[in-house]
Amino acid sequence: MYSTNYHRASSVADAVKLLKKADDGKFVSGGMTLIPAMKTRLAAPSDLVDLRHVPELKGVKISGKTVTIGAATTHAEVAANAKLASVCPAICNLAAHIGDPHVRHMGTIGGSIANNDPAADYPAALLALGATIFTNKREIAADKFFTGLFETALKDDEVITAVAFTAPAKCGYAKFPNPASRYAMTGVFVAKAKDGVRVAVTGAGEDGVFRSKEIEAALSKKFDASALEGVSVSAGTLMSDIHANAEYRANLVVVMAKRAVASANG
């Protein structure tokens, strides 16, 4: 690891100020991807500005069906939030299966979506839930937020403050983990809300998380695993790597969608 300067921000404004002062600074909020990248000398920020301890970024608020999760809330906190589980158990279940206990106690929802790893779990959830991402500058719809592999709509000095969504009538998540990294080799989040069915796929797309129109169409007719019998998705824009080719991932998208729907229907 190259040497770096560590700063613990006290507020969002403080964080922005600290980043401005740095030569080549980076926000860190858990660092579950950034720190390993630094250890293998693939990243070398001059300064790290830690958002994880900013009070205004922490915590889960629930008002009726509206869920707001502070950006610095850890996966473990999301997983263990009983009130959240009563309105949207799928998101708690998803958080409970990210990485391992160490990762879940360090990693945060804001850090995860800002990094937008194409195999991360949260992007699928937020996209399927039609969530809104709040930053220190604006609100961004999930549909506009995830723009490509490790790419988001965020500007350099923009800080995610929270994500918010309306808990749908039903939702569920299923993933097939990569056997080595245990990231999603394919993960599918399905949500049935008032305005229709949304299905988002992570771990499989060439350009990162995406919505599967084929599966949304089938589930819109009937929100049941049986509606997916015989449905196939195109392998055309799916990823091929040493772990799984596009054809296999296309199969996994349908299988995981079935399991996600089954889980949503409880």
- Backbone Cα Rg of the chain: 18
CB of 33 to other proteins, least distance (A): 10
Contacts to other proteins by CB under 8 A = 1-3, 40-41, 176, 179-181, 242-245, 248, 251-252, 255
- Residue placing its CB nearer to other proteins in the complex, 99 or 130: 99
Give the distance from CA 198 to its chain's centroid: 15
- Residue placing its CB nearer to other proteins in the complex, 3 or 63: 3
State the alpha helices, DSSP H only, in the chain.
12-21, 34-39, 75-79, 82-87, 89-96, 101-106, 109-115, 122-128, 142-145, 213-221, 246-264
- Residue placing its CB nearer to other proteins in the complex, 86 or 181: 181
Contact 97, 189 (CB under 8 A): no
- Residue placing its CB nearer to other proteins in the complex, 122 or 176: 176
- Residue placing its CB nearer to other proteins in the complex, 65 or 243: 243
CB of 177 to other proteins, least distance (A): 10
CB of 117 to other proteins, least distance (A): 11
- Write the CA distances from 227 to 215, 217, 223, 231, integer angstroms: 9, 10, 7, 8
CB of 242 to other proteins, least distance (A): 5
- Helix H or strand E encompassing 138: none
CB of 114 to other proteins, least distance (A): 20
